[in-house]
Amino acid sequence: MSEKFFDAVRSELGADSVDTSDDAIARYGFNRLPGGDRAPAGVIWPSSVEDVQVVVRLAGQHGVGLWPTSTGQNIGLGEYSPVRDAQVVLDLGRRMNKVLEVNEKLGYAVIQPGVTFRRLRAEMAERGDKLMISGTSGPPDGGVLGNALDRGAGYTPYFDHFGMLSGLEVVLPDGDILHTGDGTFAGAKTRYINKSGFGPMLEGLFSQSNYGIVTSAAIWLLPRPPAICAWAFSFPDDGDLPEIIDIVRGLKATNFVPTLIKVTSGAYGFATEATYPGYEPGVGALSDTARRELEREHGTGAWTVSGAFYGPSADALEPMVRRVRDMFEATGKATYISHEEIVHNPVLKIHLDTFSGEPTESELGLLDWRPGGGATWLLPATPMDGEIAQQHQELSRRILTEHGFEYLVEFVCGPRAARALHIIVYNRADDAERSRMRDCYAALVEAYDRIGYPISRTPTDYQEQAMDRLPELKKFTGLLKGALDPQGVIAPGKYGIA
């Protein structure tokens, strides 16, 4: 079945648009999750929206499932590899990688799936740095569109990457095209600036789903402020978290601090630079003594709180920094870390970079904390209520420690909820550790479900199980899938939608 399909694609798109070699299958099947690599049947590289339409129609005729991906850098969530074996990876990013338009006055760029954070940052620099991107702390070669469609997020005021998309161009499972928002009116001049147009808002259908393949969209961009001043505080004890969260809530509820505020565990910080001391297979969680030593060495404390102000000059920002100092220092526990110190500390510089729209590779150091390359994200939301955040800390620390892993957690705080980023780094080459990791993830999901805090963005290994907990959503999304994609052309099983 697949061979006939690949032949048909070759004859329409050219022989060099398809790769079914062992090498390509290994490369595109690789991921860092505990379930093992998942081999696709092959890879296709379209060059245009018309190519994507052709591939989708041929997939329907030949009964083939496609796995669309932009740049495949979803590290710890599945990378390029499909949700099910033998789906065909549609790698949009390789050839569809242009910035199609930049509007500096209205603040947006229209991009194809292959435009990475690094590329968009460079484009802004070439144009005189009038606009600032909102990046991630992850791979600079991640794609702006792929990240947004998976509801990834950043740290600047434009952190809600999916919310910053406008005017999506989508290839539907029958090969037709849908333009969202005002874009559905042919010739609309407002396609990239007005989302609240006529009829239902359809954009949401195309995030964390398999109802369409997005071939371009505008991403809104913030004017780059003339001055950015970052600040941080370290706190000595794990138990300082409730007090920190309650202060941060006030700072975000009033929007006094324009960036999101990060509350980063010591281990999440130092593991970007350090490796597990004396690691050997079978080790348990790092001891508290070793952790304290690394926290001291890297200047993180048990918690690092960080944020940034934007304004016309460093001098103008000084009184604002003074005000956050007064608030945190009133606890009697906070140690202030200035912008200058942040610039020279590689662990803390990550925060400044992410608040400034500068792609950084430094946080990828987390992936080497233990050998063997395993990493999996667990992403529940935590209310901005100190007492509940403390309950979450205790729960996660207990379960991670029982399974032999470190508490690598960063709360990325808004006014009401924080993204509680948990990364579990494990030795994927060691079967016992991999199996402990699987049990640990299941125990965490079960524990958070029990107290009413479900996970959000989910690694491909767990997406079908995760949907099985949600019968109401499963029924509704299944009905939509049946109506839009009865032949299962686009990624059946993605986020449990089939």
Ligand X SMILES: Cc1cc2nc3c(=O)[nH]c(=O)nc-3n(C[C@H](O)[C@H](O)[C@H](O)COP(=O)(O)OP(=O)(O)OC[C@H]3O[C@@H](n4cnc5c(N)ncnc54)[C@H](O)[C@@H]3O)c2cc1C
What Å distances lie between residue 294 and 234, 267, 286, 289, CA to CA?
Answer: 14, 8, 11, 9
Distance of CA 385 to the CA centre of its chain: 24
Among the listed residues 218, 215, 194, 213, the one whose alpha carbon sits nearest the alpha carbon of residue 120: 218
Distance CA 364, CA 411 (A): 18
Site membership for ligand X, residue 72 (CB under 6 A): yes
Determine which residue in the list 68, 269, 301, 357 makes contact with ligand X, applying CB under 6 A. Answer: 68
Determine which residue in the list 17, 31, 53, 74 makes contact with ligand X, applying CB under 6 A. Answer: 74
Determine which residue in the list 81, 137, 166, 396 makes contact with ligand X, applying CB under 6 A. Answer: 137
Stretch that binds ligand X, among 13-21, 131-139, 263-271, 273-281 (CB under 6 A): 131-139
Site membership for ligand X, residue 214 (CB under 6 A): yes
Retrieve residue 48's tokens.
């245009």
Determine which residue in the list 17, 53, 134, 136 makes contact with ligand X, applying CB under 6 A. Answer: 136
Site membership for ligand X, residue 359 (CB under 6 A): no
Distance CA 268, CA 350 (A): 12
Site membership for ligand X, residue 458 (CB under 6 A): no
Distance CA 2, CA 87 (A): 10
Site membership for ligand X, residue 152 (CB under 6 A): yes
Distance CA 276, CA 281 (A): 11
Distance CA 139, CA 10 (A): 32
| CB contact at 8 A, 112 and 98 | yes
When the beta carbons of 143 and 307 are compared against ligand X, the nearer one is: 143
Determine which residue in the list 267, 317, 366, 467 makes contact with ligand X, applying CB under 6 A. Answer: 366
Site for ligand X in 87-106 (CB under 6 A): 92
Closest approach of Cβ 272 to ligand X, in Å?
A: 8
When the beta carbons of 70 and 180 are compared against ligand X, the nearer one is: 70
Site membership for ligand X, residue 149 (CB under 6 A): yes
Angle separating helix axes 241-253 and 314-329, nearest 10 degrees: 140
Retrieve residue 196's tokens.
């609240």
Determine which residue in the list 18, 145, 164, 337 makes contact with ligand X, applying CB under 6 A. Answer: 145
Length of the chain counted residue by residue: 498
Q: How many residues bind ligand X (CB under 6 A)?
A: 31
Determine which residue in the list 316, 364, 379, 447 makes contact with ligand X, applying CB under 6 A. Answer: 364
Closest approach of Cβ 319 to ligand X, in Å?
A: 30
Site membership for ligand X, residue 378 (CB under 6 A): no
Distance CA 369, CA 267 (A): 10
Distance of CA 103 to the CA centre of its chain: 26
When the beta carbons of 152 and 357 are compared against ligand X, the nearer one is: 152
Interface residues with ligand X (CB under 6 A) are: 68-77, 92, 113, 136-139, 142-143, 145-147, 149-150, 152-153, 213-214, 363-364, 366-367
